[in-house]
Amino acid sequence: MSSSALELTITLVCILAQFISRSSAATSDANESVAMTVQKIFSDHEVIPDVIDAAPAELAKISYPSGVVANGGNELTPTQVKDQPQIEWSAEADSYYTLFMVDPDAPRRTEPKFRSVCHWFVGNIPGSNIDDGDHRIAFAGSGPPQGSGLHRYAFLIYKQNGKIDLSDAPRTSNRSRNHRLNFQHKDYVKKYGLTDLVAGNFYQAQYDEYVSTLHAQLSSEKSN
Ligand SMILES: *[C@@H]1O[C@H](CO)[C@@H](O)[C@H](O)[C@H]1NC(C)=O
Ligand SMILES: *[C@@H]1O[C@H](CO)[C@@H](O)[C@H](O)[C@H]1NC(C)=O
């Protein structure tokens, strides 16, 4: 072997050795960067601190029957998000979860006197089967008033520490506004010991013509 070929071989071996030692740290680096990205997405849109204090462990995948996905504060229309979405996260089949969907920007982000409006509250979700959970406040789409600008709609999924007793939690159908305004999801987090925010995501929406349909729907049951 010539001396330059030997040098080249040594250089290649050194590069390979560095590569191997780096890749063992790569998994935890990757996890750390996922955590930083989620934190940044929630902070950039001030969902932290307006809704939660710290980022969820992962971004939930939220897909609507209309074909759109809610992700990282993207803008969707009330028409696109009118029907209940599918939500996917790394759920454990033998654990229970609680889901909240809230709008902290009612009636408008600059003057949020109804912070937050509850659009969905489901407890005791077995694994990822939201349909089989206890739907305390039924799903309602986005109804931002005309001229009120963009509202944020946040989904929060907490892993429960076993099954919880929801018997005194409010119950509201998708034809009513009862218990929806000034909903403090943090009160339930505290009450039920929900310390583990495992997944979340959010989108933004502003008024479109579907809003009047939703408002009529939510007024169709007599409120108490
Ligand atoms: C990275 O995240 C995955 C999935 O959440 C987990 O199983 C794994 O243990 C984590 N690895 C490290 C090194 O933290
Ligand atoms: C309202 O809830 C009922 C009962 O769960 C359901 O059948 C209906 O499709 C819902 N309506 C809307 C507009 O989501």
Residue 135 alpha carbon, nearest atom of ligand 2: 5
Q: How confident is the model at residue 5 (pLDDT cuts 50, 70, 90)?
A: confident
pLDDT in tens, 121-143: 999 999 999 999 999 999 999 99
Residue 176 CB less than 6 A away from ligand 2: no
Predicted confidence at residue 16, as pLDDT, reads 67
- Return the structure tokens found at 141: 């789409």
Q: What is the mean pLDDT of residues 90-111?
A: 98
Residue 32 alpha carbon, nearest atom of ligand 1: 14
Secondary structure of residue 28 in the 3-state scheme: helix
Query: Which ligand minimizes its atom distance to the CA of 26?
Result: 1
pLDDT score of 65 more than 70: yes
What residue's CA is closest to ligand 1, atom 11? Answer: 28
CA of 110 to the centre of ligand 1 (A): 39
> CA separation (Å) from 118 to 1, 108, 163, 195?
74, 15, 22, 20
Residue 138 alpha carbon, nearest atom of ligand 2: 2
Task: Tell me how far apart the alpha carbons of residues 115 and 104 are, in angstroms, rounded to a whole number.
Answer: 5
Query: Is 29 buried (19+), middle (13-18) or exposed (0-12) by CB count in 10 A?
Result: exposed
Positive or negative: CA dihedral 37, 122, 90, 186? positive
pLDDT in tens, 146-195: 999 999 999 999 999 999 999 999 999 999 999 999 999 999 999 999 99
What residue's CA is closest to ligand 1, atom 14? Answer: 28
Q: What is the best residue among 27, 32, 196 to mutate for testing ligand 1's pocket, by most ligand atoms within 8 Å of CB?
A: 27
Which residues neighbour 63 within 8 Å (Cβ) at sequence distance 6 or greater? 69, 85, 86, 88
Q: What is the mean pLDDT of the chain?
A: 92
Please give the model's pTM, rounded to 2 decimal places: 0.84
What residue's CA is closest to ligand 2, atom 7? Answer: 174
pLDDT score of 50 more than 90: yes
CA of 207 to the centre of ligand 2 (A): 21
Residue 174 alpha carbon, nearest atom of ligand 2: 1
pLDDT score of 22 more than 70: no
pLDDT score of 197 more than 60: yes
What residue's CA is closest to ligand 2, atom 2? Answer: 174
- Return the structure tokens found at 20: 């191997």
Predicted confidence at residue 224, as pLDDT, reads 55
Predicted confidence at residue 18, as pLDDT, reads 67
Rounded to an integer, what is the distance from CA 37 to the centroid of its chain? 14
CA of 122 to the centre of ligand 1 (A): 28
Predicted confidence at residue 170, as pLDDT, reads 95
CA of 25 to the centre of ligand 1 (A): 11
Rounded to an integer, what is the distance from CA 7 to the centroid of its chain? 54
